[in-house]
Amino acid sequence: MKDKKLNVRDLINAGLFAILIFIATFVGGMIGFMPTLMPIVPLLQGIISGPVYMLYSTKIKKTGMVFIQTTVMSLVFFAIGHGPWVVLTGVGAGILAEAVLKKGNYTSVKQARFAFIIQSLWGLGNWLPIFFARASYIKTMIDMGYGEEYAQKMMSVLPNWSLIPIILLGMIGTYIGCSIGIKMLKKHFVKAGMAEV
């Protein structure tokens, strides 16, 4: 399939699904209001977002749509105070996801799932300050009104070695969520001309 320029409808879809995935991510993150449950936030976010990702895959036929959607989400998280790292990881994850989707010619359900597992790394930027600038992050949380007790409880369940397990939990959650989406949306994949290859 030859690449085509994005049109207004493509941009609307990218923006719409950026909003939907942002909402799904926010819902999954709500369990983080209980600080001791923070380590499983990426798992829940992936499970909840996965079906939305797979629905979005039925709309993607051109290069750039996932990159735009990921970048928009990252900018929104930056705007609400998550720091600049989320923009950098968002751009990087968006580029990698685009490459995977293109390899599947935008018609492979399995490649779409793999692309969104890679894309789930966009949120890594939200976690990096916890592990590499802990004191500053704690101060920011207290300044934002979370309180020192909340901040200390959260940090107690997020030791430095837990970054890799948290990344893996996010990817596993996205795999589970996308797999649920694949089962739920079979008719949509057929209509979109996508195959499980």
pLDDT mean by block of 10 residues, the chain; 197 residues = 76 93 93 94 97 93 92 92 91 96 91 96 93 92 90 94 96 97 88 73
For residue 5, what pLDDT is reported? 86
For residue 192, what pLDDT is reported? 81
What is the number of H-type helices and E-type strands within the chain?
Answer: 10, 0
Question: Quick check: helix, strand or coil at residue 195?
Answer: strand
For residue 83, what pLDDT is reported? 83
For residue 182, what pLDDT is reported? 93
Residue that has been written with the tokens 């369990």 in this structure: 31
